[in-house]
Protein backbone atom coordinates (compact mmCIF):
# COMPACT_ATOMS: atom_id res chain seq x y z
CA UNK A 1 0.00 0.00 0.00
CA UNK A 2 1.55 3.35 -1.00
CA UNK A 3 2.25 5.88 1.73
CA UNK A 4 1.04 9.44 1.17
CA UNK A 5 3.37 12.37 1.69
CA UNK A 6 1.20 13.60 4.59
CA UNK A 7 1.30 10.18 6.29
CA UNK A 8 5.06 10.05 5.89
CA UNK A 9 5.55 13.58 7.27
CA UNK A 10 3.19 12.88 10.20
CA UNK A 11 4.98 9.63 10.99
CA UNK A 12 8.44 11.16 10.67
CA UNK A 13 7.50 14.09 12.89
CA UNK A 14 6.01 11.81 15.54
CA UNK A 15 8.88 9.35 15.32
CA UNK A 16 11.51 12.04 15.86
CA UNK A 17 9.92 14.84 17.89
CA UNK A 18 7.79 12.98 20.40
CA UNK A 19 10.40 10.52 21.71
CA UNK A 20 12.98 13.33 21.86
CA UNK A 21 10.65 15.59 23.83
CA UNK A 22 9.56 12.61 25.92
CA UNK A 23 13.14 11.77 26.90
CA UNK A 24 14.12 15.39 27.50
CA UNK A 25 11.18 15.70 29.90
CA UNK A 26 12.15 12.52 31.72
CA UNK A 27 9.14 10.66 30.34
CA UNK A 28 6.74 13.48 31.23
CA UNK A 29 5.66 16.21 28.89
CA UNK A 30 3.82 18.74 30.98
CA UNK A 31 2.58 21.86 29.26
CA UNK A 32 0.92 23.16 32.42
CA UNK A 33 -1.43 21.99 35.12
CA UNK A 34 -4.95 21.19 33.95
CA UNK A 35 -7.31 24.11 33.79
CA UNK A 36 -8.78 25.43 37.02
CA UNK A 37 -12.17 26.06 35.40
CA UNK A 38 -15.20 24.54 37.10
CA UNK A 39 -16.52 21.31 35.62
CA UNK A 40 -19.34 18.88 36.44
CA UNK A 41 -16.74 16.39 37.65
CA UNK A 42 -14.23 18.20 39.83
CA UNK A 43 -11.85 16.31 42.10
CA UNK A 44 -8.86 17.35 44.17
CA UNK A 45 -5.40 16.41 42.87
CA UNK A 46 -5.24 13.69 45.55
CA UNK A 47 -8.58 12.26 44.39
CA UNK A 48 -7.43 12.30 40.75
CA UNK A 49 -4.18 10.54 41.77
CA UNK A 50 -6.19 7.85 43.56
CA UNK A 51 -8.54 7.39 40.59
CA UNK A 52 -6.03 7.41 37.69
CA UNK A 53 -2.85 5.58 36.80
CA UNK A 54 0.29 7.76 36.91
CA UNK A 55 0.34 7.89 33.08
CA UNK A 56 -3.35 8.84 32.86
CA UNK A 57 -2.90 11.49 35.57
CA UNK A 58 0.03 12.99 33.64
CA UNK A 59 -1.99 13.26 30.45
CA UNK A 60 -5.46 14.13 31.78
CA UNK A 61 -4.53 16.42 34.67
CA UNK A 62 -1.07 17.76 33.71
CA UNK A 63 -1.61 17.94 29.93
CA UNK A 64 1.22 15.51 29.18
CA UNK A 65 1.39 13.11 26.26
CA UNK A 66 2.04 9.42 25.94
CA UNK A 67 4.80 8.06 23.74
CA UNK A 68 3.61 7.36 20.18
CA UNK A 69 2.67 3.81 19.16
CA UNK A 70 2.24 2.69 22.79
CA UNK A 71 -1.54 2.71 23.22
CA UNK A 72 -3.55 -0.47 22.68
CA UNK A 73 -6.41 1.81 21.55
CA UNK A 74 -4.37 2.59 18.44
CA UNK A 75 -5.20 -0.93 17.24
CA UNK A 76 -8.82 -0.97 18.47
CA UNK A 77 -11.08 -1.54 15.46
CA UNK A 78 -14.29 -2.89 16.98
CA UNK A 79 -17.56 -0.96 16.89
CA UNK A 80 -18.04 1.00 20.09
CA UNK A 81 -17.36 4.21 21.97
CA UNK A 82 -14.19 5.85 23.26
CA UNK A 83 -14.75 7.72 26.53
CA UNK A 84 -12.77 10.02 28.82
CA UNK A 85 -10.75 7.90 31.28
CA UNK A 86 -11.28 10.55 33.94
CA UNK A 87 -15.07 10.74 34.03
CA UNK A 88 -16.36 8.17 31.51
CA UNK A 89 -18.03 10.78 29.27
CA UNK A 90 -18.43 9.25 25.78
CA UNK A 91 -16.17 11.32 23.53
CA UNK A 92 -15.67 9.56 20.15
CA UNK A 93 -17.58 6.96 18.14
CA UNK A 94 -15.56 4.18 16.55
CA UNK A 95 -17.15 5.11 13.21
CA UNK A 96 -15.06 8.32 13.19
CA UNK A 97 -11.74 6.60 14.00
CA UNK A 98 -9.08 6.35 11.29
CA UNK A 99 -5.42 5.40 11.06
CA UNK A 100 -3.47 8.65 10.84
CA UNK A 101 -0.10 6.82 10.99
CA UNK A 102 0.98 9.21 13.76
CA UNK A 103 1.10 6.73 16.64
CA UNK A 104 -1.97 7.98 18.48
CA UNK A 105 -5.66 7.07 18.13
CA UNK A 106 -7.19 9.56 15.68
CA UNK A 107 -10.76 10.58 14.90
CA UNK A 108 -12.31 12.97 12.39
CA UNK A 109 -15.03 14.21 14.80
CA UNK A 110 -15.98 14.01 18.49
CA UNK A 111 -19.44 13.15 19.74
CA UNK A 112 -21.76 16.12 20.17
CA UNK A 113 -21.17 18.13 23.36
CA UNK A 114 -18.24 15.91 24.40
CA UNK A 115 -15.14 18.09 24.11
CA UNK A 116 -13.91 21.64 24.54
CA UNK A 117 -10.91 23.17 22.79
CA UNK A 118 -8.44 25.94 23.55
CA UNK A 119 -5.21 27.32 22.11
CA UNK A 120 -2.00 25.66 23.32
CA UNK A 121 1.20 27.64 22.80
CA UNK A 122 3.54 25.17 24.52
CA UNK A 123 6.55 23.47 22.92
CA UNK A 124 7.22 26.49 20.70
CA UNK A 125 4.20 25.99 18.44
CA UNK A 126 0.52 26.88 18.36
CA UNK A 127 -1.87 23.93 18.51
CA UNK A 128 -5.47 23.39 19.58
CA UNK A 129 -5.91 21.33 22.76
CA UNK A 130 -8.87 19.02 23.21
CA UNK A 131 -10.34 18.63 26.70
CA UNK A 132 -13.22 16.62 28.12
CA UNK A 133 -16.24 18.85 28.49
CA UNK A 134 -17.30 17.22 31.79
CA UNK A 135 -14.04 16.97 33.79
CA UNK A 136 -11.63 19.20 31.86
CA UNK A 137 -9.21 16.33 31.30
CA UNK A 138 -6.67 16.82 28.51
CA UNK A 139 -7.33 14.29 25.74
CA UNK A 140 -4.96 15.47 23.00
CA UNK A 141 -4.93 17.97 20.13
CA UNK A 142 -6.90 18.63 16.95
CA UNK A 143 -5.27 19.44 13.61
CA UNK A 144 -6.68 20.49 10.23
CA UNK A 145 -5.06 17.68 8.20
CA UNK A 146 -7.68 14.96 8.68
CA UNK A 147 -9.93 13.13 6.24
CA UNK A 148 -13.32 14.11 4.89
CA UNK A 149 -15.99 14.95 5.86
CA UNK A 150 -14.49 17.33 8.48
CA UNK A 151 -10.87 17.62 7.39
CA UNK A 152 -9.93 17.40 11.08
CA UNK A 153 -7.65 14.99 12.92
CA UNK A 154 -8.41 14.64 16.62
CA UNK A 155 -5.11 13.10 17.75
CA UNK A 156 -5.88 11.64 21.18
CA UNK A 157 -3.81 10.04 23.91
CA UNK A 158 -5.00 6.47 24.35
CA UNK A 159 -4.21 6.54 28.07
CA UNK A 160 -6.72 9.40 28.42
CA UNK A 161 -9.55 7.22 27.08
CA UNK A 162 -11.33 3.94 27.63
CA UNK A 163 -13.12 1.84 25.04
CA UNK A 164 -16.52 0.17 25.38
CA UNK A 165 -17.47 -2.24 22.58
CA UNK A 166 -20.94 -1.88 21.10
CA UNK A 167 -23.50 -4.33 22.44
CA UNK A 168 -24.48 -7.07 20.04
Residue whose C-alpha is closest to residue 157's, from 89, 102, 88: 102
Sorted by sequence, the CB contacts under 8 Å of residue 36 that are 6+ apart come out as none
Sorted by sequence, the CB contacts under 8 Å of residue 79 that are 6+ apart come out as 94, 95, 165, 166
CB atoms within 10 A of CB 2: 4
Annotated catalytic residue: which of 84, 87, 135, 155?
Answer: 155
With left for phi above 0 and alpha for psi between -120 and 50, is residue 54 left, alpha or beta?
Answer: alpha
Task: Find out whether the peptide bond into 92 is cis, omega within 30 degrees of 0.
Answer: no
In the chain, DSSP finds a helix count (H) and a strand count (E) of 3, 9
- SS3 label, residue 68: coil
132 as an active site residue: the answer is no
**Entry field: residues in the chain:** 168
Catalytic residues: 155
Amino acid sequence: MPVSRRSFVNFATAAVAAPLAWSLAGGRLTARTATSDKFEVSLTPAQWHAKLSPAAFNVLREEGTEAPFTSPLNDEHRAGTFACAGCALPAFASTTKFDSHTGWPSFWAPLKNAVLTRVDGSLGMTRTEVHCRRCGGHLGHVFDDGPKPTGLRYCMNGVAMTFAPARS
